[in-house]
Amino acid sequence: MGFYWRIKWTQKLEKGQSYIFVANHTSMTDIMLMLVIIKDHPFVFVGKKELARIPLFGYFYKRTCILVDRGNAMSRQAVFRRAQQRIESGLSICIFPEGGVPPESVVLDRFKMGAFRLAIEHKLPLVPITFFDNKKRLSYTFFSGSPGKMRALGHPFLYPQDYEKNATKKMSSEVYDLLLKSLKKGFN
């Protein structure tokens, strides 16, 4: 497809450690880039159930992701149980906290709280990642995109034990501000 990637890590991932990975969601290429940059740390995505209906893609998606129906409270709670099983088996979890790809005009959409609750409940380091170029490479707009670079920045990890009251909200707000600032500043 003509994409080449580069990631800059500010902190090193430890072998054998499970993490909660979060990144801004900008494109259909986000999943592929995440798989490439985190290749040495097996993980599973948490994704919306509706995508399982897409022919062919849905077949693989159902078998490799923890699916959530956001309109169903029981489904949202079940994500925590399934995530616990995956974490206990040594996997990490990846969530795009925006919950979907935002409209073209939105730089960073509001976050859902699931990733931050998982990090706190399971006492796992949360790894924020900024994707800079994916929207330019392959957006949801017809006849757009181009071959080229796909850069990512792995930010310093956040540790749940560093947060006390309102930890979910504080972590979410900190990551949101970090990613937004990073997107505005650009990849250096």
Domains in the chain, please, with CATH? 3-185 (3.40.1130.10)
Distance, CA of 122 to CA of 30 (rounded, Å): 25
Distance of CA 71 to the CA centre of its chain: 20
81-134: pLDDT as tens digits: 888 899 999 999 999 998 776 667 677 889 999 899 999 999 999 999 998 876
Distance, CA of 107 to CA of 182 (rounded, Å): 11
Distance, CA of 158 to CA of 121 (rounded, Å): 14
115-128: pLDDT as tens digits: 999 999 999 999 99
Residue 95: enclosing H or E segment and its boundaries? strand 92-95
pTM of the model: 0.87
